[in-house]
Amino acid sequence: MNLGRAKSILIIAFAGLNLFLGYHLFWPDFGRMTRVAVTAEDLQATEVMLSENNYFLQTTLSRSVHVSDFLTVEPARSFQGEVLQEFIKKGAHVVESDNATAYRADNETAVVYSSGLIRVIYEPGVRLVEDAAGIEAHRLTELVDNFIEEEKLMPEGAVFDYMEKSDAGFINFNYYQVYQEMPIYAGQLKVILEAGEVNIIEIYWLNPVDRLPLREMKVISAAEALQNLVDRLGPSPVPRDIEAIKLGYFSGEYDAEKWEIPPVWRIELDGNDRHYINAFTGNIEQDTIIPEQLP
C-alpha cells in the first residue's frame, strides 16, 4: 500500500470535511447578515421620500439583512447596593416612603426608587468649572467623567453618548450601556450641570440576564424605520438632518423584577432629537422614564 498516497487522501478528506462543516456552521449566518435587504433603487426612493418631507440623510444606511432577539433584563441591584454602601459609610440618614428610600448625607442625597432608578442630589451643587460655556465640550466631558468616577457613580461599561443644553441653562451629559456590542439605550446615566455645578446625577442601570435566540427574527430595515418615523412626525416645516441611525435595545422604565426589551432603530435628528423605532413592529417606542417626587 502506498502510505504517502493514503496520507494525501486523508488530508484532502479532512480538508473537505472542514469546509463542509464550516459552511453549515458559519455560512448561513454570514449570508443572512450580508444579504442585501435594501436595493439601490429602494435607497434612492427612501432619500426622495425624505427630501419631499424636508428630511435629509447625513449618514449611511445599512442595506444588509439584520436579525435580532429580545433581551431579558433586570435592575442592576448589585450596583445600587454599592452606591448606597458609600452613602452609609458617610453616615447617611435614611428616610423611607412608599415608593422610594432616601439616604441623606451632609450635602448630598441618594434617592432609590422601587423601579431601580437612583437619583443623587447635591445641595449645594458641586462646582466643576467657573464658566461652563467657555470651555470646550470634550474637556467638559472629561471633567464630568472624572467627577462621577471619583464619586463611585460610574457603572461598569458606561459609554458617553451625547451632551445637550437646555434653554433654562442646564447641560445634560448622557451615557448608555453596552451588552455584547449592542447598545442598551434603556440603561442610562445622566449628569445635570447648572452654572458649572453638578446638581443631579440619575442612574437607571440594567443587568442583562439573557438573550432569547429561539425568538430571533429578522428586523425591519433602516429605510423602513425612517419611513415609519416620517409617517409619525409628518412633513417638517424646516429642513431636518438625519445624522445617525443605529440598532440597539430600548425600553422605558419598568417597576418589575425582570422583563424583556426589544431591538430598536435609534434615529437621531439634528444632533439633539432621538426617536426609537421598534425593529420588529415598526412602532415608535416611548420613553416612560419620568421624574418622581422625593420622599
Reported as a single tens digit per residue, the pLDDT across 3-58 is 555 545 444 445 444 444 443 333 333 333 334 567 889 889 999 999 999 999 99
Q: Which domain holds residue 53?
A: 36-70+212-285
**Cβ count near 47 (within 10 Å):** 16
Which is it for strands 217-218 and 259-261: parallel, antiparallel or unpaired? Answer: unpaired
Same domain, 201 and 79: yes
Same domain, 63 and 118: no
Same domain, 216 and 201: no
In a domain, 251, yes or no: yes
Same domain, 82 and 200: yes
C-beta of residue 277 within 8 angstroms of C-beta of residue 285: yes
* Closest by Cα among 134, 129, 120, 59 to 84: 120
Which is it for strands 67-68 and 273-278: parallel, antiparallel or unpaired? Answer: unpaired
List all residues 6 or more positions away from 248 whose beta carbon is below 8 Å from its beta carbon: 176, 182, 183, 184, 185, 263, 264, 266
* Phi, psi torsion values for 216, nearest 5 degrees: -65, 135
pTM of the model: 0.81
In a domain, 82, yes or no: yes
The CATH code of the domain that includes 201 is 3.30.310.160
Asked which of 151, 184, 207 is the last residue of a domain, the reply is: 207
CA–CA separation, 126 and 43 (whole Å): 49
Beta strands in 78-129 (DSSP E): 93-96, 100-104, 108-113, 118-127
Domain count, the chain: 2
pLDDT at 37: 66
In a domain, 25, yes or no: no
The CATH code of the domain that includes 237 is 2.40.128.690
Side chain identity at residue 71, one-letter code: L
* Closest by Cα among 170, 165, 126, 115 to 148: 126
Same domain, 274 and 179: no
Asked which of 181, 207, 233 is the last residue of a domain, the reply is: 207
In a domain, 5, yes or no: no
Which residue has 430595515 as its cell numbers?
221
pLDDT at 286: 74
In a domain, 244, yes or no: yes
pLDDT at 98: 83
Same domain, 167 and 256: no
What grid cell was written down for 89?
Answer: 459609610
Which is it for strands 118-127 and 108-113: parallel, antiparallel or unpaired? Answer: antiparallel
pLDDT at 10: 47
Side chain identity at residue 156, one-letter code: E
In a domain, 28, yes or no: no
pLDDT at 252 over 70: yes
What grid cell was written down for 45?
Answer: 426612493
Read off the pLDDT of each residue in 65-77 and give the average, rounded to a whole number: 90
**Which range among 7-16, 181-190, 208-217, 251-260 has the greatest average pLDDT?**
181-190
Same domain, 253 and 232: yes
Average of per-residue pLDDT values in the chain = 85
CA–CA separation, 291 and 203 (whole Å): 12
Pick the more confident residue, 32 or 267.
267
Same domain, 198 and 112: yes
Same domain, 90 and 166: yes
Same domain, 138 and 195: yes
Same domain, 179 and 257: no
Same domain, 198 and 218: no
Asked which of 207, 225, 248 is the last residue of a domain, the reply is: 207
In a domain, 103, yes or no: yes
